[in-house]
Chain A
Amino acid sequence: MGSPRFWSWAALVAGLLYFFLPLVGMFEFSLRARRGEYSFQAYTNVLSDPQFRETFMYSVVVALFTIVLGVLIVAPTAFWVRLKLPKLRPVIEFITLLPLVIPPIVIVFGYIRLYNTSSWLPLTGTAMGTNILLTFGYSVLALPYMYRAVDTGLRTIDVATLTEAAQSMGASWFTIITKLILPNILSAILSGAFLTFAIVIGEYVFAALLNRPGFGPYMVWMGGNKAYEPAALAVIAFGITWACMGVIQLATRLSKHNRVQR
């Protein structure tokens, strides 16, 4: 038996190979659009495609609405549960974990049947209604991540004590929320927001089954019809994911920095 360090390096190298080869392969492939030379032709093709711009913008807008909706639903709830209903926490936590257990395709299947044109809430009847339904659906998909992020943020500050202290000094609820709680969990909310963005931007199943012109269905369509453009799309998607995670890292680091200073 060699030293543990040797095996650690061996595992690491194997891991690097597995994780980097597809990235390299994807990038290399995306450069092959012109025969015999490497070029950014595939990227040019993609970026000049009006369909790309439309679907991408559509997904960005839906992602932004999803983030706002998610924050509005999750943050007050997590705060309220920590403050007033700690007994309810297991229940809320269980609900927020359900989207990890129930396959997304089942959830969207339920939407289609529950909110169809002949139902009591015919959301799928209009384009706007379907957009709203999609946004709510994405909020459900992002729920586990958003809730975890915010709840972790709340855990690092002692919500109950802080609130009581502020109340004893005569602070109003508005002041407590805007001056005390929000600044303290801002980085957590940002983390949740960018994670949500990363999940929503390329999502396929919901958008496809609800017939919305999202970036995910566009990518699949490209995959079926073009050779090199899909690889370019994958590189772009990977870049977006990286950027989102980078911002999350930055946000956490900044908040840690703040906390130490305090």
Chain B
Amino acid sequence: MTDATLAAPAPEPVEVQAPRPRPSRAAALPLKWLGVAPFMLFALLFLIMPTIHIVLGAFQTPEGAFTLRNLQGLAVPQVVRPFMLSIKISVLTAGLGCLFGLILAAAVTKGGLPGWIRDAMLTFSGVASNFAGVPLAFAFIATLGRLGLVTVILKEVFGINLAATGFNLISFLGLTLTYLYFQIPLMILIITPALDGLKREWREAAEILGASGSQYWRMVALPVLWPSLLGTFALLFANSFGAVATAMALTGSSLSIVPIILFAQIRGDVLQDPHLGYAIAFGMIVITGIANLVYIVLRTRAEKWIK
């Protein structure tokens, strides 16, 4: 076969450094880079330096000397517990967000529903994913709060006392339910293009080879989607981990999650140790950083079949 040879690994292309006239290069370089200078300056001043300042501060005494005391200071229950709670909420809302988002996106893209539903769903997801923060908390209070619509209807029509069942909006479950309101739409927005990338022929090929629908999803579709799913999970995790306004407006400060603790700390109370604030912020960066690192590692492993 003539084309069998095509698959033989091509020799690695050798980087050849073209000998260029030095002066012109030296003159061209700064000019080219000048074009991105404003952006770089902006990023440096308002994104990178503030972050680095926090990271460094976590390792410094108020006098500026190196120390690990701040980080050790994290190992107290009133810090560890919020971290655990935040991680739990973030993992849960990211996981459920991915799951429900995937189901809904799959239903509208692959489930044989009319095309306009898909468009409507995407538009609505654009709105809902941005309908976060304070107003979202109000919407949930108005619905599932003590006097909320659903609470009242459940009580008056069905005779179910929501509070008596142990449900409380200002709780782990309540916060999860609220966060999902922006997590699911975000997932839908991100995963829909990936679902569109699943070729109809893959499904048909699997089917004609004897696979059932669930076998196709398990053996082909999900592995193909895996990198996108991982990426979205990491994003949703960070999204939920850093959210302050929703939790704040929903619970006041009665639910101790990390961003609320840090918020209080910045406002200058509770822990009575300014550099502990740095350490908490640093901890937040580390956690979201780890989430993304895990994502990158898993992604490279999952993507070995992609160029």
Contact A73 B39 (CB under 8 A): yes
Cα of A16 to Cα of B128 in the assembled complex, Å = 12
Task: Say yes or no: is B235 at the interface (Cβ < 8 Å to chain A).
Answer: yes
Contact A95 B35 (CB under 8 A): no
Chain A residue contacts of B192, Cβ below 8 A: none
Contact A103 B238 (CB under 8 A): yes
Chain B 37-76 interface 0/1 with A at a Cβ cutoff of 8 Å (1 = within)? 0110011011111110110010000000000000000000
Rounded to whole Å, the gap between the CB of A39 and the closest CB of chain B is 16
Contact B53 A219 (CB under 8 A): no
Task: Say yes or no: is B140 at the interface (Cβ < 8 Å to chain A).
Answer: yes
* Interface-side segment among B9-17, B159-167, B259-267: B259-267
Task: Say yes or no: is A193 at the interface (Cβ < 8 Å to chain B).
Answer: no
Contact B281 A106 (CB under 8 A): yes
Contact B284 A77 (CB under 8 A): no
* Interface-side segment among B102-110, B219-227, B298-306: B102-110
Which one of A99, A103, A245 lies within 8 Å of B123 (CB-CB)? A245
Contact B133 A136 (CB under 8 A): no
Within 8 A of A (CB), among B136-160: 136-144, 147-150
Chain A residue contacts of B134, Cβ below 8 A: 202, 204, 216, 219-220, 223, 233-234, 237
Rounded to whole Å, the gap between the CB of A159 and the closest CB of chain B is 13
Within 8 A of A (CB), among B244-282: 244-245, 248-249, 252, 259, 262-263, 266-267, 277, 281
Cα of A202 to Cα of B239 in the assembled complex, Å = 17
Interface centre among B39, B57, B249, by most A CB within 10 Å? B39
Chain A residue contacts of B233, Cβ below 8 A: none
Which one of B127, B137, B213, B241 lies within 8 Å of A223 (CB-CB)? B137
User: Are A26 and B42 also in contact (CB < 8 A) when A216-B134, A248-B126 are?
Assistant: no
Which one of A84, A103, A204 lies within 8 Å of B242 (CB-CB)? A103
Task: Say yes or no: is B288 at the interface (Cβ < 8 Å to chain A).
Answer: yes
Interface residue total, chain A, C-beta cutoff 8 A: 80
Contact B244 A230 (CB under 8 A): no
Chain B residue contacts of A124, Cβ below 8 A: none
Cα of A76 to Cα of B259 in the assembled complex, Å = 35
* Interface-side segment among A5-13, A181-189, A254-262: A5-13
Task: Say yes or no: is A109 at the interface (Cβ < 8 Å to chain B).
Answer: yes
Main SS at interface, chain A: helix
Task: Say yes or no: is A140 at the interface (Cβ < 8 Å to chain B).
Answer: yes
Chain B residue contacts of A231, Cβ below 8 A: 138-139, 141-142
Q: Which residue of B has the minimal Cβ distance to A95?
A: B43
Task: Say yes or no: is B113 at the interface (Cβ < 8 Å to chain A).
Answer: yes
Cα of A232 to Cα of B80 in the assembled complex, Å = 37
User: Are A26 and B142 also in contact (CB < 8 A) when A84-B35, A110-B53, A216-B134 are?
Assistant: yes
Task: Say yes or no: is B179 at the interface (Cβ < 8 Å to chain A).
Answer: no
Chain B residue contacts of A223, Cβ below 8 A: 134, 137-138, 141, 249
Which one of A22, A108, A139 lies within 8 Å of B139 (CB-CB)? A22
Contact B131 A238 (CB under 8 A): yes
Within 8 A of B (CB), among A84-106: 84-85, 88, 92, 95, 98-106
Task: Say yes or no: is B202 at the interface (Cβ < 8 Å to chain A).
Answer: no
Chain A 151-192 interface 0/1 with B at a Cβ cutoff of 8 Å (1 = within)? 000000000000000000000000000000000000000000
Task: Say yes or no: is A249 at the interface (Cβ < 8 Å to chain B).
Answer: yes
Contact A100 B238 (CB under 8 A): yes
Q: Which residue of A has the minimal Cβ distance to B124?
A: A19
Chain B residue contacts of A244, Cβ below 8 A: 130
Contact A245 B127 (CB under 8 A): yes
Within 8 A of B (CB), among A119-139: 136-137, 139
User: Are A233 and B126 also in contact (CB < 8 A) when A21-B143, A109-B54 are?
Assistant: no
Task: Say yes or no: is B173 at the interface (Cβ < 8 Å to chain A).
Answer: no
Cα of A106 to Cα of B262 in the assembled complex, Å = 9
Q: Which residue of A has the minimal Cβ distance to B131?
A: A241
Contact A11 B104 (CB under 8 A): yes
Contact A28 B142 (CB under 8 A): yes
Contact A241 B46 (CB under 8 A): no
Task: Say yes or no: is A68 at the interface (Cβ < 8 Å to chain B).
Answer: no
Contacts A81-B36, A202-B245 known; 17 new A-B pairs at CB < 8 A = A8-B112, A25-B139, A28-B149, A29-B149, A80-B35, A99-B47, A103-B288, A106-B281, A107-B47, A111-B46, A113-B54, A195-B130, A204-B249, A216-B134, A223-B141, A241-B131, A245-B126
Task: Report 23 cross-chain contacts, Cβ distance below 8 Å, ordered by A residue.
Answer: A11-B111, A15-B100, A19-B181, A22-B139, A25-B139, A81-B36, A85-B32, A98-B48, A101-B289, A105-B281, A107-B46, A110-B49, A113-B53, A136-B46, A143-B47, A198-B130, A205-B263, A209-B267, A220-B245, A223-B138, A224-B252, A233-B138, A244-B130
A binding-site residues for B, Cβ under 8 Å: 1, 4-5, 7-9, 11-12, 15, 18-19, 21-26, 28-30, 72-74, 76-77, 80-81, 84-85, 88, 92, 95, 98-114, 136-137, 139-140, 143, 195, 198-199, 202-205, 208-209, 216, 219-220, 223-224, 230-231, 233-234, 237-238, 241-242, 244-245, 248-249
